[in-house]
Structure 1
């Protein structure tokens, strides 16, 4: 429990250093793309990135199994299940994650509903797109929801674990490694034929913005401060138990290796939570 308090306090200290100004330039990029999309229309939006999409889709789809497994990490349920253990040791992360997830949901649903951007398969035709997994069609391509989730999670984690007492070079390397991981995961949406490149770019930026908003809110308002209390454990124990069942069903249906990691995380988290709760109430 001493480790838990120490780790959580360090996360809180790191989060207090995050400023609202961190989203200024990313926000300007998002606004610029939205203005272009609004005035030029979906057809022009898709056309300007046509060559880049086909090039990336062709190259990335050469690794179908890897791409399809990695792209699952952009599913909000899978991502949050994978991070379930942080609820026990660093609940401040979950405070930020919950707010950030709600903000990212608003960004994703709101923009998808407002802009009728055709999916790659809808625009180019199924014969012109390399598809991995489910064939996604329709007019909800902008922005990429999976990319938003990926960068929302990475942003919350990135600021939580900023290296302390290290050189600037070490910190820059830390940020670049996480950025690289985010790019690899987000671009799987192009590899599986689900999104255009700018969908992924804007989704990633919106994820970063959502993460910063979640962090700032967790420090200033503590909307989900109750998750830090052991009184919330019974609720999360039931939630994690249900999630274990749900994830087990997903594994039986799709049998993807990547699903085992959040399943293991949920089981370990459930065990630790029960252990801590029983010990505290003895």
Structure 2
């Protein structure tokens, strides 16, 4: 990865450019000026045309999740009446390899007890639930987040209701910097292996799979950080999937913004 110039250097360059433009404008009497010759358009060069195409992905990755949640009823088909704590408890029961005494997220089980009445809310791993229509059927869906102790990961889940059944349509575990809802898209921000960069994964509803699938995985420069002493390759593989349907644009809303989502 190319080394980045410090912000101070970049800022200085911008200021010099602005001052130069201002000075030039002061001596300009108006009129049209030539911008120079137009560069000839060049088509992309296709490299290695004889290369044998890959027949399978380099990394196994589940592009979508769709599971009917057992043991959870949806009174009147209203997802607002579903108990979020019970939803997480149902996942723990269904995934003993992950949440059992030897599982990666075993400490989540005891902490979840503090989400009930009389428990220590500061220890409760469940985050505030959010409600928004992500599937486009005109009804709210449920977005849950909960910490996966003892790791630094957070579980992000999306549920919808079909024929009075609760259906999980997104399940992702990652080290999370933030989560946003934008229109009918869910965007996760995760730390990268180099400071000043982060991963952003966008999930959208796919009517064909009837699940949330990721439509974009980005590795973005977000600010100044340390310069690597040698080229560093991201440890998180680039993920690709079939093009997902476009969603209507809408202002993005962070899941930490209580004004952008309804709660029961």
Task: Assess same fold via TM > 0.5.
Answer: no
Structure with the bigger RCO (C-alpha within 8 Å, sep 6+) is 1
Q: Which has the larger share of helix?
A: 1
TM-score normalised according to structure 1 size: 0.22
TM-score normalised according to structure 2 size: 0.23
